[in-house]
A and B are shown apart, each in its own frame.
Chain A
Amino acid sequence: MRVPPQTLVDKIWKRHAVVALDGSETLLYVDRCLLHEGFWWNIIDALKSRNLTIHRPSNAIACSDHFVPTTDRSGGFAAIPDERRRDLILRLETEGTELGVNVIGMQDERQGILHVVAPETGITQPGMVIVGSDSHTSTHGALGALAFGIGTTEAMHVLATQTLWQSRPKTMRITVDGRLPKHTTAKDLILSLIARLGIDGGAGLFVEYAGSAIEALTIEERLTVCNMSIELGARAGTIAPDEATFAYLAGRPHAPSGAHWDAAVAAWKSLRSDDGATFDREVRIDGANVTPMATWGTSLDQTIPLDAPVPDPAAEPDAVKREAQTRSLAYMGLRPGQYLGDVPIDYVFIGSCTNGRLDDLREAAAVVRGRRATVPGFVSPGSRAVKRAAEAEGLDRIFIDAGFEWRDSGCSMCAGANGDTLQPGQRCAATSNRNFPGRQGPGSRTHIMSPASAAASAIAGRIAGAAQVPA
């Protein structure tokens, strides 16, 4: 009998199905569980309260990233001013080590944001099921893994059993053909997709990104696209592994080596959707139509091209969106019809699991080089490895000479959990992933955009794209 064509998601799913119950629930085997100090204590408290132990501790990876400071790191733990944050970082690092978990602590030279560290150390591999106590676990789909965020109770379940109950996935393929125009980045692509499909466009779906424009992306660019799949409402976003993926992984510390490498690559090559595979939803866009984008409002669908006016709720036919737009305009202090290019900013944040990688810093540095920022801002490289690599090619000097602070690595001002926050009412051009009310501190106003656009905005003192920066 001929095997019906399967999607990439189907193939990974079947390989990991331990038990399939009647109806839709599957007990799915989990390869790696990603953890951070923000929720470690909740997960371990839950585990201990049930007298459970960690089934395969070395398959759990824990990074200190949410609460770590981005300044004064040479002072070590003692220099962390907030006692509760310090205690929770120390708890992860001491307890995690005792329990045999793969801990990458604050002072470790590999330290960084979980979703930057796992790919760059080769922990993330094609065909894996990766879960994490963080919604941006979707990032790891860029290497052909099935990766998604879960809650702390589910993470406790994964640690105890190495499995998770999941409903059989519905799938969506987003095909992007053509070429992204000049000054248009992977960030602009994913923002365009969210603007077009909505923040619930991927709800309940496992998304596969495909097409020539996706294949042309570097691995770091693919990580940016998959990272924000959660902002599309998707369970996960994934991209079939290809030669670029294998080349990226070769030689990384946790990647397979020797005979295992050859066997792994052979297995990875089968990880693509078969011709004729069917998806529950298909979307196709032309990459050539994507332009630099920024959010104007407080949800990720409130995103417009940099040269477009802020929408007028009166022109919005959908009553729910109209109400949401009206609320967002008031929160953001904007008027309908206003151009983002006319909106002055107070601050610039370059970093995060979305855009804190070396390519991102190069993209921003190329805009900043030889110019001066007119508003304060800082760069937080996504990991200490990214920071070292950036310094080796002099990117730190470019940012510092332009007036930026060059800081240490962590989630930082993306969510402000470490205390890196804006003042109420301050407006920030940010390369992170969420523009929610209060995300960067109570009353903060966030405009999400690409590293190139954030850098250009720093120079201009108002929201700008790389094409608008004067020579």
Chain B
Amino acid sequence: MTPFRVLDAVAVPLGESNVDTDQLAPSRFLMRPVFDELLLHDRRYERDGTPRAEFILNDPAYAGAQIIVAGRNFGVGSSREFAVLALPAAGFRCAIATSFGDIFTSNCYQNGVLPIVLPEATVEELLAVLRAWPGLHVTVDLPAQTVQTPACGPYTFAINSARKACLLEGFDDVALTGRYRKAIARFEDTYYRDFPWLA
């Protein structure tokens, strides 16, 4: 997993709420590897594959964006990890929103994507700034837990300390759990003695 420390990049003010996993990664693409155009595919492209010029992700002003800013409930719905994997495939390493689906958040941490929750008023302010200056850079500083632009912020955000450490080091859970192999073996001895029908 690629470590995440400081990201200074163009941010797209998507702004919408309820951007669910089926929109982020439609079901009919789940039987093939993740591809660059997967993210919000049916919003970005016509059925014949031509880009929808009016959709913000196709606006050249935001070319090269690595941060996406949305409203409430980003990534709600299915457990499909493709909904997260579609983000780095399209160049995004960070999503900022008022709230996220719980499974989506877990999947972000497993893939080096940083999900940042900010209060609604802050997200609104950030969206307004990004719309006023299309292509403006946002700086996300994970060690300091701040988000800022030249025109607003810094805003601080909260993150679970274990998740922060894993992102900073590019560690995933498997590496961490390896340290507890003996504890798991001891647990299983007792557990299956107490609950033999579960073995």
Give residues in A with beta carbon < 8 Å to B.
Answer: 18-19, 21, 23-25, 27, 29, 31, 38-39, 42, 50, 52, 66-67, 82, 84-85, 88, 125, 127-128, 132-135, 137, 148-154, 156-157, 160-165, 167, 199-200, 203-204, 230, 233, 235, 256, 260-261, 263-264, 267, 298-299, 320-321, 323-324, 327, 415-417, 419, 421, 424, 434, 436-439, 441-442
Known: A199-B76, A299-B20. A151 touches B161 (CB 8 A): no
Rounded to whole Å, the gap between the CB of B91 and the closest CB of chain A is 20
> Is B174 part of the binding interface, using a Cβ–Cβ cutoff of 8 Å?
yes
Give residues in B with beta carbon < 8 Å to A.
Answer: 16-18, 20-23, 26-28, 30-32, 42, 47, 71-73, 76-81, 84, 98-99, 101-103, 106-107, 110-111, 120, 160-162, 172-174, 176-177, 180-181, 183-184, 187-188, 191, 195-198
Rounded to whole Å, the gap between the CB of A248 and the closest CB of chain B is 16
Q: Identify 6 residue pairs between A and B in the complex whose beta-carbon atoms are under 8 Å apart, listed by A's number.
A: A27-B177, A153-B172, A163-B180, A165-B173, A267-B195, A417-B31
Contacts of A261 in B (CB 8 A): 197
Rounded to whole Å, the gap between the CB of A354 and the closest CB of chain B is 14
Bound complex: CA A161 to CA B181 (Å): 8
Bound complex: CA A154 to CA B84 (Å): 13
Contacts of B197 in A (CB 8 A): 256, 260-261, 263-264
Is B16 in contact with A233, judged by CB distance below 8 angstroms?
A: no
Is A151 in contact with B184, judged by CB distance below 8 angstroms?
A: no
Is A19 in contact with B180, judged by CB distance below 8 angstroms?
A: yes
Is B23 in contact with A437, judged by CB distance below 8 angstroms?
A: yes
Is A151 in contact with B174, judged by CB distance below 8 angstroms?
A: no
Is A135 in contact with B103, judged by CB distance below 8 angstroms?
A: yes
Contacts of B73 in A (CB 8 A): 199-200, 233, 299
Bound complex: CA A38 to CA B81 (Å): 11
Contacts of B23 in A (CB 8 A): 436-438
Is B173 in contact with A320, judged by CB distance below 8 angstroms?
A: no
Contacts of A417 in B (CB 8 A): 27-28, 30-31
Bound complex: CA A161 to CA B175 (Å): 11
The 10 closest A-B pairs by CB, nearest first: A256-B197, A153-B110, A151-B107, A149-B79, A260-B197, A151-B81, A135-B79, A436-B22, A417-B27, A152-B81
Contacts of B98 in A (CB 8 A): 320
Bound complex: CA A66 to CA B110 (Å): 24
Is A23 in contact with B160, judged by CB distance below 8 angstroms?
A: yes
Bound complex: CA A204 to CA B102 (Å): 6
Selected contact of A135 from candidates B32, B78, B160, CB within 8 Å: B78
Is A233 in contact with B72, judged by CB distance below 8 angstroms?
A: no
Selected contact of A299 from candidates B18, B176, B187, CB within 8 Å: B18
Bound complex: CA A85 to CA B101 (Å): 28
Is B17 in contact with A324, judged by CB distance below 8 angstroms?
A: yes
Closest A residue to B110 using CB positions: A153
Contacts of B161 in A (CB 8 A): 23
Contacts of A437 in B (CB 8 A): 20, 22-23, 42
Rounded to whole Å, the gap between the CB of B15 and the closest CB of chain A is 8
Contacts of B72 in A (CB 8 A): 200, 320
Bound complex: CA A151 to CA B113 (Å): 14
Closest A residue to B198 using CB positions: A31
Rounded to whole Å, the gap between the CB of B22 and the closest CB of chain A is 4
Is B27 in contact with A439, judged by CB distance below 8 angstroms?
A: yes
Closest A residue to B176 using CB positions: A165
Is A161 in contact with B71, judged by CB distance below 8 angstroms?
A: no
Rounded to whole Å, the gap between the CB of B185 and the closest CB of chain A is 10
Known: A31-B198, A153-B81, A320-B120. A85 touches B31 (CB 8 A): yes
Closest B residue to A50 using CB positions: B174
Is B103 in contact with A163, judged by CB distance below 8 angstroms?
A: no
Contacts of A267 in B (CB 8 A): 195
Bound complex: CA A157 to CA B143 (Å): 27
Bound complex: CA A27 to CA B31 (Å): 31
Is A38 in contact with B110, judged by CB distance below 8 angstroms?
A: no
Selected contact of B71 from candidates A137, A298, A320, A439, CB within 8 Å: A320
Is B187 in contact with A18, judged by CB distance below 8 angstroms?
A: yes
